[in-house]
Amino acid sequence: MNGRRRISGQPGDPRAHWLLVISAIVLMAGALILNGYAHNAVGETHPPAAPDGATAPGLDRVRRGGPVVNAAEGTLRSVRPRPGAIALTFDDGPDPRWTPQILDVLARHHAKATFFVIGARAAENPAIIRRMVAEGHELGDHTYTHADITSTAAWRTRTEMSLTQRALAGAAGIHTRLIRMPYSSTPGAVTVGQLNAMRTLSAEGYLTVLTDLDTKDWSRPGVAAITRAGTPYGGRGAIVMFHDGGGDRAQTVAAVDGLLTELESRGYRAETVTAAVGLPTAHASADSAERFTGTVLGLAQRGSNGFALTLTCLLALAGALTLVRVLLFVGLAWAHARRARRARRESPGGHRRGRAPVWPAPPPVSVIVPAYNEAAGIAATVRSLVATDYSGTLEVVVVDDGSGDDTARIAAGLGLRDVRVIRQPNGGKPVALNTGIAEARHDILIMVDGDTVFEPATIGNLVGPLADERVGAVSGNTKVGNRRGLLGRWQHIEYVFGFNLDRRAFEVLGCMATVPGAIGAFRRAALASVGGVSRDTLAEDTDLTMAIRRRGWRVVYEERALAWTEAPATLGQLWRQRYRWCYGTLQAMWKHRGSILARDPYGRRCIGYLALFQVLLPLIAPAVDVMAVYNAAIGDPLPVVAVWAGFVVVQALTGWYALRLDREKVSALWVLPLQQFVYRQLMYLVVIQSVATAVLGARLRWHTIRREGTFEHDLGIDAEAVAAADIR
């Protein structure tokens, strides 16, 4: 039943929220780009490249000179620390774990040091930067991302330097004129590329700081080896290179403590680089505009870092929850199928569960078909209902809900016995169903959509479980009839895997969420206990199921009761159908939220499951997908591809089992990998649209789905598909 009027006085579908979605995507992309830029190159410091033998004017002079170099055009000067002065320098920080420990060691020895900070790390840890400055230490620039500026373009080099200065301005209100190039070491190891970079940096006002003693602590050679490498000899002054970031620095912390103890006994004084070489402080005060810009940069950097970390956690959590759900539901479906097989063996003449009651004689049944503009398929639907092998009394009540086509005329013109056609003004599907319920003569009621056809054995199988007086409703097994195209195959897999497998598990858990409008059987007393079919939501079947279950009735699933329905044939039609389904489900969840507050086990399981797996996870799924692509782009893509392939394999195995349970051909699984790239994303967007519509308070109209008349000329649909789906 596809067409309905929108309730007047309610706002229509919102459109402005798509602007919010696009804005969120742009912000998310910006955050990931910033985080990727800041962290893609940051990590362990590599050994400096050996001199390549190339020469350039001034290169020999630099190699023979001191570790503090001014290589401005026309000028090439260098200086060394004075005798007895030791300048400890630390690269690749600040690190929130190791840098504070090094600062504590320095404080115990009343020593000063120079920290060449990575701008991104400084932006993420401004409190540590402020502590360094407050305790009298000196800061230097080590680029924003630990980039090798001997190979970067000029604009990238300027960007690296500028961003680090902004980070320092935002964190501590200062600039610095010291820089140490990543991957540099002693003057004797300077390459032509590094010399050219020094000239560029000196033109920008920087002094390049190399080192006299490279401890190579990044390789973690042991505390003793680090201490020996950092110890000057003969009373000479020295600049010593350590690292406070980029990895495990426990050895560095211990070595610095031991080295300072040794040097103090020998009369050395640990100073900043500028103090050790007799230059003015490297710090300059940043103006208010630079501080503001730096503060914004710091906030953006920390925000992007937190966002990326959150998405990574969500990626892991979503994957774990999805895997747990799949394994749990497969196990429950297996238990359901095993119980059903045992019941059929123990009670061959019955329809249900072991020693459960069976009808002494087939009960009289009324089938209600609400129809609105179903001319394309109503004849096939009614004929399939009449062509049943059910031996009990049967009537078919077709309720034409103000159709604008020939639905009523076609149904009445079939001339079939025990088929009544009732016409009424358009009032909506719930009104049509309630009309049918009121007009029906019998107490066992079956509700069927006007685009659905039954198998001959369906009615008998469907009403069998109602022999148990505790059962108030029975869900049948809905199949996709028009499954020849790619979209049809995707929906076929979804119906078997996502709907029917779930219903098996839901019955075992006692938390059935929906008896589908396409095929459902009800006890009149159960319908009366909830006041009939409500008009409160657009998912009247979910609303009705929840209401019946909350009244204490059991709701079960009968996999042998087959109904073939016509699925949407285009993406646009599918969007409109699923949009209504999702929005209506949200309405039903909100309407029955009291079951959670009342500590109703059904409400907790059913609504909790829907909220987690059909609302929350789909809402975050696009961000999780983006994060997966991001991780593949900035790092090794193999783990991401392996995880994705693993989930596809798990889904394929689950789909194989679900298809086997439904006696369907497993060859349909070939479209499953393709489903991950189009169909799944469409379903995510449907949830986003539905949640936005609900949050904004808009009232969704009933979207019309155009019927193709799939079953008009062939009640058996596809002969092979019907034969394969015949569950025994």
The alpha-carbon radius of gyration of the chain (Å, integer) is 37
Q: Which of 391, 408, 390 is nearest to 399 (CA)?
A: 408
CB 537 within 8 A of CB 543: yes
Q: Which two tokens mark 59?
A: 């290169």
In the block, tokens 């002969």 appear at: 719
Instruction: Return the ∠ at Cα 313 (arms to 308 and 319), rounded to 5°.
Output: 125
Cα(288)–Cα(173) distance, integer angstroms:
8
State residue 147 phi and psi, 5-degree precision.
-80, 145
Per-residue H/E/C for 580-614: HHHHHHHHHHHHCCHHHHCCCHHHHHHHHHHHHHH
Q: What is the dihedral angle through the alpha carbons of 669, 672, 674, 676, rounded to the nearest 10 degrees?
A: 180
CB 428 within 8 A of CB 403: no
If you ran DSSP here, which 8-state letter would residue 467 be given? G
> String of b and e for 29-62 (b: at least 16 CB within 10 Å)?
eebbebbbbbbebbeebeebeeeeeeeeebbeeb
**Bridging pattern class, strands 365-371 and 174-176:** unpaired
CB 223 within 8 A of CB 217: no
In the block, tokens 């042991």 appear at: 222
Cα(240)–Cα(87) distance, integer angstroms:
6
Q: What is the dihedral angle through the alpha carbons of 518, 522, 527, 528, rounded to the nearest 10 degrees?
A: 150
Helix (H) and strand (E) counts in the chain = 27, 20
Beta-carbon count within 10 A of 281 CB: 13
Which of these is catalytic: 146, 243, 336, 351?
243
Which of these is catalytic: 39, 91, 257, 592?
91
Q: Which two tokens mark 580?
A: 């209504």
Q: Which two tokens mark 325?
A: 């759900």
| Active-site residue, 91 included | yes
Q: Which of 655, 329, 721 is nearest to 493 (CA)?
A: 655
Per-residue H/E/C for 195-259: HHHHHHHHHCCCEEECCCEECCHHHCCCHHHHHHHCCCCCCCCEEEEEECCCCCCHHHHHHHHHH
CB 644 within 8 A of CB 628: yes
CB 91 within 8 A of CB 211: no
Beta-carbon count within 10 A of 546 CB: 29
Cα(79)–Cα(66) distance, integer angstroms:
5
| Active-site residue, 541 included | no
Q: Which two tokens mark 183?
A: 């991957």
Q: Which two tokens mark 125?
A: 């840890």
Q: Which two tokens mark 66?
A: 């001191």
Cα(426)–Cα(447) distance, integer angstroms:
18
Cα(627)–Cα(664) distance, integer angstroms:
36
> Catalytic residues, which ones?
91, 243
